[in-house]
Amino acid sequence: MMNDTIAIIILAAGKGTRMKSERAKVLHALSGRPMIMYVVDTAVKVAGDDIIIVIGNQADTVKNVVSAGADVQFVLQEEQKGTGHAVRCALPALPDHCQHVVILSGDVPLIKSLTILHLIDKHVNEINDVTVLGVNFDNPFGYGRIVVNPAGGVEKIVEETDASESERYLNIVNSGIYCVEKKFLEKSLSKIKSNNKQNEIYLTDIVEVANNFHKKVGLMICNDQAEVMGINTPEDLLNIETMQMKS
């Protein structure tokens, strides 16, 4: 299953204040294991040891826990300035042989390796510069929305806090999972600014950069909502643990 042209970046630097706990969010246990280890296990099946984890909050603790179970690299995001900034921190650690980069979130533990492989296949076969993994949600509250153009590509991704009223009615939401051509990822991240309400560098803005430069942005829809559900609250953790037990 492994692909030696692929490297994976896992974002795991956030504080997770909505978890109402002193523990780093990605270390909260899901069925007895830190949630990030599910993501790491999945990533290893796809990219072997070409995995970079961006750490920040409780960096040493997260590093020690993950290192005990996997051979991965770590980069430090000293200040949490957004997902785009986190990926930018990881760029120098990408291996030379890497041609495409898959970006995962450490708090989305049920994503499957087969889904990632399908995302990579679509990305490569369609010769996309960026391929976004989306999902249809009946109630998309809290998620970034994907605006699709008439050709079926991604026009833009808008965070809910920045979405217009009409955009909030869209039900294709962003999973936060991407496959990006490495050189374009480097170029696009150098052009993103933090001109939004959160004053952060959003990774989602690489889509706007791609469209401005007439690059190709594809979309793959994941049919299983549970796979891309993120854990932000204790209630989310309980819900996903219940889903995991039923599956």
List 18, 23, 33, 145, catalytic entry: 18
Q: Look at residues 158, 164, 170, 169 and name the one whose alpha carbon lies nearest to residue 207.
A: 158
Q: Strand 6-12 to strand 100-105: parallel, antiparallel, or no bridges (unpaired)?
A: parallel
Q: Partners of 130 in the beta sheet?
A: 180, 217
Nearest to 27 by CA among 245, 237, 246: 237
The answer to whether 120 and 8 are in contact (CB under 8 A) is: no
- Going from the C-alpha of 27 to that of each of 39, 92, 109, 245, the distances in angstroms are 12, 25, 11, 19
Cα-Cα-Cα-Cα torsion 199, 230, 57, 50, nearest 10 degrees, comes to -100
Residue 231: which H helix or E strand, with range? none
Is the four-CA dihedral 145, 213, 116, 31 of positive or negative sign? negative
In degrees, to the nearest 5, what angle opens at C-alpha 124 toward C-alphas 207 and 132?
A: 30
The dihedrals phi and psi of 30, each to the nearest 5 degrees, come to: -120, 110
Residue 88 annotated to the active site: no
Catalytic residues: 18
